[in-house]
Amino acid sequence: MYIIAIAWLYVTVMMAATEKTVISGLLTFILYGLLPCALLLWILGVKHRRFIKSKKPLLEHDVRDPDSTDTNGNE
């Protein structure tokens, strides 16, 4: 997924480099490159973020408190 984003950003940098003014080059890069790429990566990352969010309570539950003692009297 990231290789496609990198390739698309490379294409838009080359497009921006051929513009006549710096302002039009920046706008080309931002409007054709950064915004669509950021939106795509955000949309495609929703499933991964949801997966990480669902696993977070399980990870926090497994961590033992170092200040607590064993119920059997063993430390």
Read off the tokens for 58: 């399980």
What pTM was computed for the model? 0.62
- 6 pLDDT exceeds 90? yes
pLDDT tens, 27-67? 999 999 999 999 998 888 888 878 888 877 666 655 555 55
Nearest-angstrom CA–CA distance, 72 and 75: 9
Residue spans of the domains in the chain: they are 2-61
